[in-house]
Amino acid sequence: MSFKNVGIVGLGTYVPEKIMTNYEFEKIVDTSDEWIKTRTGIEERRFAAPDQGASDLAVEASKKALKAANLNPEDIDFIILATGTPDYLIQNTACLVQEKLGAVNAAAVDINAACSGFVYGLTMGSSLIKSNMYKRILVIGTEVLSRAIDMEDRNTCVLFGDGAAAAILSEVEEGYGILSHYLAAEGEDGGALRTPAGGSKTPVTSEVLEKRENFLKMKGQEVFKFAVKALPKATLGAMKSANITPEDISMVFPHQANVRIIEAAAKRIGISVDKFYLNLNKYGNTSSASIGLALGEALEKGLVKKGDVIALTGFGAGLTYGSLIIKWCY
């Protein structure tokens, strides 16, 4: 069995039109634009329209990715969709995307690694291609977190936004593509970041709704402490596997959660924070979509070129974390 070089050959992003600024949150909860910007770096985020679900955002991003790769939906033979906010609890969102996109030849599956989902999905997809099981895989990170947050909880509602990113994986020329990966998880998190009710463990009841346990809950300090350790561990682990140093990295695309987390992680990794691409000020935390949204924006600006060595690195609920080192192929 021959193993292939696998890389991203097309990438697309999508964010809803509605912009929610910090000033609008001042009218909803006890907060301020200054407080949010100082502690998170977020200035605004996008919220999906009432008729948009995670699959709708995913389809728009996927169309752009297919166009960038000069491929048709029929060319895709597997769809891996990462989300924590699926359209439905039962019936995976990847199948909805398959139907809406017209990817009739593709198998389809959802994964949930929260904010690490895009990295997990790319790693899984590249492994399937390297083992000659599939040729072209569509990996998507899509979230409609505006439906999962408690608009009465000022500690969480200001953090999250909606969006989607899609990448086409395929065989690439030797020496390019994904050079290494690092995936990990720490399940003993004590519920640091979860939606307490709505699953099989705790179904939605009138009591659940009264306590607002059907919304996302987060222990901020615990997540912060985890993140500033997890991002460096994952990034350095992937760099070690690729046999490269911090000096070899052209740019880092971290999960866009909090500017303080990213600044602290940059110091531990030994890479200047100037090499970390940030757009969380415009989109907030879009979970599984955030890394792809950042990479897509950088590509549109011409900041990533063929031969650049970049790192994608994230952390999320679970707790999960992971990183990829990629030598860009176009």
Residue numbers annotated as active site: 115, 255, 285
CA dihedral angle for residue 45, residue 50, residue 54, residue 58, rounded to 10 degrees:
-80
Collect all residues with Cβ–Cβ distance below 8 Å to 283 and sequence separation of at least 6: 15, 44, 45, 46, 161, 163, 256, 290, 293
> Rounded distance, CA 304 to CA 10, Å?
13
CA dihedral angle for residue 261, residue 316, residue 223, residue 22, rounded to 10 degrees:
60
Residue type at 25 in one-letter notation: F
Collect all residues with Cβ–Cβ distance below 8 Å to 58 and sequence separation of at least 6: 81, 83, 93, 97, 140, 142, 164, 166
> Rounded distance, CA 10 to CA 327, Å?
14
Number of C-beta neighbours around residue 50 at 10 A: 7
DSSP-derived pairing of the beta strands 320-327 and 309-316: antiparallel
- Write out the two tokens for 178: 């994904």
**Please, which residues bridge with residue 168 across strands?**
10, 138
DSSP element (H, E) containing 327: strand 320-327
> Rounded distance, CA 5 to CA 22, Å?
44
Residue type at 87 in one-letter notation: D
Contact 233, 116 (CB under 8 A): no
